[in-house]
Amino acid sequence: MGSLVAAVASFVDVRSQGGRWLVRIEDVDTPRTVPGAADAILSTLEAYGLHWDGEVVYQSQRTVLYQEALSQLGEAAFGCACTRQDSVCHCASGLPVGRAARCVKVRWQDGEPFVVKRADGLFAYQLAVVVDDAAQGVTDVVRGADLLDSTPRQMHLQRLLGFPAPRYLHVPVVTDERGDKLSKQTRAPAIVPGDEATLRRALSLLGHPPPPEASPLEWAVSHWDTRRIEGAVAGPG
């Protein structure tokens, strides 16, 4: 349900502005990719009438672009020997004696350095989405508030790479009765593809409950107002 709410918010927001809605499969973390998951996502979107423009982009096929961007970061990027047990990174000014780099991080003034290329050789989400947003000409990003902390890092990378920053809108995540985000990790039930009642509930959670006689998506597009979304955050916060 949480994924549907984010997708509906993104779709309705761009359609209300007469824009193009792009779908990207963010499978850059290939070891965690579940066979058939991408096809299931796409078929579910179609079942709800969330039809995208252009070809679907798969991050797992774009590593050459990410490597090119990494090389353009220059001195802002540095090799890091830290592990997950290290609470603070001490490698920004040079690797400690006797230790080899495990990953690549980017330094920034607003916070702790963050990973752009992982110890397993895979590119991190932060760099991948910045490169893809620029390559696809993305002007508006609408996503869940669980990614709010990622936005300043991505805007930092955009500045370093000379990319324009999209407009950001973060919508509240859907939670259970304990306040936990609905996800596979919290055993949230799967939605029934194409169920109109579920679509209407998603729009209601976004502050746009459609009247019974209206086509839900068409009504939402013509009445969309982000100020009606309780808890929505525009920009990086």
CA distance 229 to 226: 5
Tokens 């973390």 sit on residue:
29
Check residue 25 and report its DSSP letter: E
| Domain regions of the chain by residue span | 2-64+124-234, 72-117
CATH of domain 2-64+124-234: 3.40.50.620
CA distance 106 to 81: 13
16-20: long-range contacts, CB 8 A cutoff, minimum separation 24: 16/221, 16/222, 16/224, 17/140, 19/139, 19/140, 20/53, 20/54
Q: Would you place residue 236 in the very low, low, confident or very high pLDDT band (cuts 50, 70, 90)? A: low
Helices (H), the chain: 2-16, 37-47, 63-72, 125-135, 150-161, 196-205, 216-223
Residue of 237, 200, 211, 236 lying closest to 12 (CA atoms):
200
Collapse the DSSP code of 124 into the 3-class scheme (helix H, G, I; strand E, B; otherwise coil) and give the result.
coil
- Contact in structure between 158 and 168 (CB atoms under 8 Å): no
User: What's the token pair of residue 108?
Assistant: 């920034």
Kindly report, residue by residue over 104-134, the tens digit of the pLDDT. Answer: 999 988 778 999 999 999 999 999 999 999 9
Collapse the DSSP code of 218 into the 3-class scheme (helix H, G, I; strand E, B; otherwise coil) and give the result.
helix
pTM, entire model: 0.90
Kindly report, residue by residue over 43-52, the tens digit of the pLDDT. Answer: 999 999 999 9
* Residues 22-50, mean pLDDT to the nearest whole number: 93
Kindly report, residue by residue over 137-174, the tens digit of the pLDDT. Answer: 999 999 999 999 999 999 999 999 999 999 999 999 98
Backbone angles phi, psi at 215, to 5 degrees: -75, 120
Q: What is the mean pLDDT of the chain?
A: 92
